[in-house]
Amino acid sequence: MSMTLQPHSLIELPEDLDRDRLPRHVAVIMDGNGRWAKQRNLPRIMGHQRGVDTLKDLLRCCKDWGIEALTAYAFSTENWGRPLPEVDFLMTLFERVLRRELAEMVAEGVQIHFVGDLACLPNSLQAEIERAMTATANNQKIKFVVATNYGGRREIIHACRSIAAQVKAGRLDPADIDEVLFERHLYTGGLPDPDLLIRTSGEMRVSNFLLWQVAYSEIYVTKTLWPDFDRAAFHEALRDYQQRQRRFGRV
């Protein structure tokens, strides 16, 4: 899979965007790969392959435009219910892409993190994930978070169990439990909450993604299918974001 930019792709930050008001952290629900393939009478796996190219270019775009972090919803805890050949293909695709793209991510300063219940993934994929996170641990240009076998409800339960174990062991007073402490026990501990959540394909739901973290995220939904979500589409999302007033419950 070679990543090809569209002719109208925007390389520099568009002049109508305020660099000082860009989101620090963007999260994306990458929906529509299967529908994109179906519209072209292609196998679903072709949509997933094209979606990888889209994600790669979005990551580079975020880095070029000065956005600090990008989190992508790659595989949910519910996705195991898809047909087995598709699940097997996705696991192999993740592993192959990691192996192929690692040198480039190191060179471009990408710090990659995987969040989710990673112990359930194939052993070979777990090894590639560990290798990638170790190799990029000191990179500083952009944080790239890949949510794999991730579910927001499972994440919250995991945090509750971790905190409960500390209370039971006498290492934590329940009165000391607050939002800051709770966030440290989430998979995303240490990462700022997303300022902007983008969902492609027009579906109006968060699909068990970052349930705690998106409490005050701005949500942008586009009917564009994920494989077609290029830099011009991202520009439109950012322009919409910058037209909003973020009050966080205040007047």
Give Cβ neighbours of residue 94 (< 8 Å, ≥ 6 apart).
74, 75, 125, 128, 148
Q: Is 34 exposed, middle or buried (0-12, 13-18, 19+ CB in 10 A)?
A: buried
31 three-class SS: coil
- Give residue for tokens 């995987």: 114
Give Cβ neighbours of residue 78 (< 8 Å, ≥ 6 apart).
151, 208
Catalytic residue selected from 31, 195, 228, 230:
31
Please indicate whether residue 31 is annotated as part of the active site: yes
Residue 108's identity, in one-letter code, is E
Catalytic residue selected from 64, 79, 193, 208:
79
Two structure tokens written together for 117? 């219940």
Please indicate whether residue 208 is annotated as part of the active site: no
- State the SS3 of 139-156: CCCEEEEEEEEECHHHHH
CA distance 132 to 57: 19
By annotation, the residues acting in catalysis are 31, 79
